[in-house]
Structures are given as structure tokens and as C-alpha cells.
Amino acid sequence: MIPHPTRTLLAFLAAALAFSLAPAQAQEREQNWYQVELLVVAHTNPAAQRAEQWEPLPRLAYPEAYRFLLDPQRLRANLEHTPDASHSEVDANGKQLLHLRRIPSPAALDDAAPPPTTAEASGGALDGVSDDLGAVTEVPEAPDKARLPTPFLTLPAQAREFRGKAAYMERNGPYRVLFHEVWWQPVGGARSALPIVLDQSGDQQSYPALQGTVRLHRSRFLHVATQLWLNTSGDYLPGTWRMPPPPLGPVSQERVPAALLPEADAGVLSAVTGYDPAWDAAPGLLEEATATAAPVYPYRHAVLLQQQRRMRSNEVHYIDHPLMGVVIKLTPLDTEALHAAAYDREVLELIQGPQTPAAAVADPAGA
């Protein structure tokens, strides 16, 4: 059967297009990466609070979908302060997952086979291996593929371009630095852009001066949207009135319990989960538990900074407000800089989890 010329041409074009899409998609992933530096300051001049009449009950809320910045020191501290955690990893939205160790039952430990002797281990390892050295086939090493760095990981203070300016503003003007970080990230379209949570109020269960999110996206221009609020003493309010407490931020870490082993007995079950068989004979016991008290809101009021701003890369942009100021700059990153980046090497295991099963276990229960 003679192939149809049009179909043959279409098949050829489809194959050529598929061949060209792979490098094009890889190039797309490497494009639109930026270094983001964000500085938020508060005006400490008492007259600034009385400059306007503020909304008594501003709409303060965190979005349903969001992501977190990754602080290397906080990632390490969270793991160190969780002694029953075997390892850590970070999900797609920046939440740190602390995986807890599994505890085997005593029966499982008693039934475990003793470790092999040195002779047995060496003999077993050499079984089936040819004495002919020429028969040994070397396994080629995997090529070192170009790797994109970890996005949203905060960089050291030395990388902050505004560091000197921020210190000068605090020393010589009525300003107080509330937030100052720099990180790398891809900036995509509005539909895929998630707001970035700037505070740790959910983790600390307390109210900082600054709360809220910023959101970056890209179309023809770069765009930034702020949903930030400043908690204040409310000296500008009449009488003793105070607003209801605003919401706390989302929690950026989660303890992931290990699955119970099939051999686990009641004693181990109690050690792992705190379960007491007597609960089955005490109806209503769980219902009597009291909820943890909500943290006290030490402020009287909050003032919202909700703005959107169009930006250009390599330019410093300032969002002004009577009580706050936001300084932001996005610097484009090229492919060479992305592939040469090594700022995340020391914390990759905390972000990606152990790369070998043995490292992931770190407990006698096995993988």
C-alpha cells in the first residue's frame, strides 16, 4: 500500500515537532526565574498612625491556597527539635514534613535473624562471581544532568542588596524592619501563582507585628500583589474598643506518623499513639477533653496594605503607605546562573528526604 503523501508529511511534522518540544520545554523551565528581594518596613512616627481614619474591621484573611518560603536554619531546627523524627522533606508548597520513626514490637525484635558473620557475609557476597576479572562489567556512571536549584529557599544575608539601606533607615529614620529576605523562584502566569506567606504566626501560635502574603506573577509585565497587615497598639482608636483578633497564619510543618507495623502489640501501640485500652470502657472520656486556648491578641487593631503593582525587572519598586513601606526588586536569572547555583546543596536532604532507603529508616523497624 502506497502511503498517502499528506499523511506522511503530517507524521513527519508531528515527529519533528515532538523532537523539538523537549529542549523547548526544558528551556521554558529555565526561563522566567528571578532573584526576589523583599523589604517591608513600618513607620514608627506616632503621627503616622493618625494620618488617616483606618477601616475599623478590615478583611484580614489568608488564602485557601498558598506556599511558604524555606528558611534553611528553620528547616534544621525543626528536625533537631523533633527527636522522634527519622528524616525531613518538603512538599510542593513548602510545608516541611517531619517523618516519625517506626517502633517495632518486642516480638519482632526477638524474631529478627541475627546479623551474618563476617565469613558468611563475605562468602555470600562472592557467590556466583567469576574469578575472571575480565568478565567484570563496569557500570557507567549516570551523567550529571543540569539541575535547577531549589526555589523559594531564602539566601544568606550577604545576598541582600538592600541590607545597607535597611540598616541606614533604622538608624536615621522613623523606620523598623519587619521583613527582609531574598530568594530565587520561577515567576509564571497569574493562574499558577500562589501567594507566599511571610509570617510564622501559625507555627509559633502568636501574633507578630506583620502578617499576610505577597503574590508574584508575570504576563507582559511583572506584577506584585500584597495582602499584608500591620498589627498596631491602636492608640488612634477612641476609648477602649479593640477589634477581634485576626487569623493566625497556616502551619508550615507537619509531623507525619509512621504506619504501625503488623507485629505491633498493644504495648507498642500505646507507646506510639498514646492509646489506652481502658478508653473502650470509658464512654465520653474523649468528649471531656478541652481544646487548647487560643493565643492572646496583644494588639488593638490592624491596618491592611492591599495593593497591586506592575513592575519591570532590574528596577527597585516602592509601595508606599502611611504606616508601612514595601521595597521589592526582581532580577532575571540566566541559564548559566541557574545551573551553577549551589546554595541549596547543604539542605537538599532536608528538602528532598534521604536518597537511600537506609538513610530514611534510621530505626530498627526497617524501611
Q: Supply the pLDDT for residue 315.
A: 97
Q: What is the β-pairing status of strands 196-197 and 67-68?
A: parallel
Q: Is 183 exposed, middle or buried (0-12, 13-18, 19+ CB in 10 A)?
A: buried
Greater confidence (72 vs 364) lies with: 72
User: Is residue 27 pLDDT above 60, yes or no?
Assistant: no
Alpha-carbon distance of 39 to 168, in angstroms, equals: 13
Q: Supply the pLDDT for residue 16.
A: 41
The mean predicted confidence, pLDDT, of the chain is: 80
Q: Supply the pLDDT for residue 147.
A: 84
Q: Are 223 and 311 in contact (CB under 8 A)?
A: yes
User: Is residue 109 pLDDT above 70, yes or no?
Assistant: no
Q: Supply the pLDDT for residue 127.
A: 52
| Phi, psi dihedral angles at 53 (to 5 degrees) | -95, 115
Sorting pLDDT into bands at 50, 70 and 90, what band is 129? Answer: very low
Residue in 183, 158, 194 with CA at minimum distance from that of residue 36 = 183
User: Is residue 325 pLDDT above 70, yes or no?
Assistant: yes
Q: Give the range among 175-179, 189-193, 288-292 with minimum mean pLDDT.
A: 288-292
User: Is residue 188 pLDDT above 80, yes or no?
Assistant: yes
Grid cell in block for residue 264: 505491633
pLDDT in tens, 43-78: 998 888 888 899 999 999 999 999 999 999 999 999
Q: Are 317 and 244 in contact (CB under 8 A)?
A: no
Helix (H) or strand (E) holding 224: strand 222-232
Q: Supply the pLDDT for residue 337.
A: 95
The proportion of the chain whose per-residue pLDDT surpasses 70, expressed as a percent, equals 68
pLDDT in tens, 203-248: 999 999 999 999 999 999 999 999 999 999 999 999 999 999 999 9
Spatial CB neighbours of 350, under 8 Å, sequence gap ≥ 6: 72, 75, 76, 79, 88, 89, 90, 96
Grid cell in block for residue 340: 551553577
User: Is residue 25 pLDDT above 70, yes or no?
Assistant: no
Pairs from 162-168 (Cβ < 8 Å, separation ≥ 24): 162/37, 162/39, 162/327, 162/329, 165/39, 165/327, 166/39, 166/41
Sorting pLDDT into bands at 50, 70 and 90, what band is 31? Answer: low
Alpha-carbon distance of 216 to 331, in angstroms, equals: 13
Alpha-carbon distance of 348 to 149, in angstroms, equals: 10
Alpha-carbon distance of 77 to 355, in angstroms, equals: 21
Spatial CB neighbours of 360, under 8 Å, sequence gap ≥ 6: 86, 87, 99, 353, 354, 367
Alpha-carbon distance of 40 to 21, in angstroms, equals: 41
In the three-class reduction of DSSP (H, G, I as helix; E, B as strand; rest coil), residue 362 is classed as: coil
Alpha-carbon distance of 226 to 60, in angstroms, equals: 12
Q: Supply the pLDDT for residue 301.
A: 97
User: Is residue 17 pLDDT above 70, yes or no?
Assistant: no
User: Is residue 317 pLDDT above 50, yes or no?
Assistant: yes
Q: Supply the pLDDT for residue 115.
A: 60
- What number is the average pLDDT over the span 354-367? 45
User: Is residue 154 pLDDT above 80, yes or no?
Assistant: yes
Neighbours of 126 (CB within 10 A): 9
Residue in 20, 22, 23, 37 with CA at minimum distance from that of residue 333 = 37
Helix (H) or strand (E) holding 231: strand 222-232
User: Is residue 6 pLDDT above 80, yes or no?
Assistant: no
In the three-class reduction of DSSP (H, G, I as helix; E, B as strand; rest coil), residue 27 is classed as: helix
Sign of CA pseudo-dihedral 59, 205, 349, 271: negative
- What number is the average pLDDT over the span 72-101? 96
Q: Supply the pLDDT for residue 233.
A: 94
Sorting pLDDT into bands at 50, 70 and 90, what band is 110? Answer: low
pLDDT in tens, 238-294: 999 999 999 999 999 999 998 765 555 556 555 655 655 555 444 544 444 456 788
Greater confidence (26 vs 254) lies with: 254
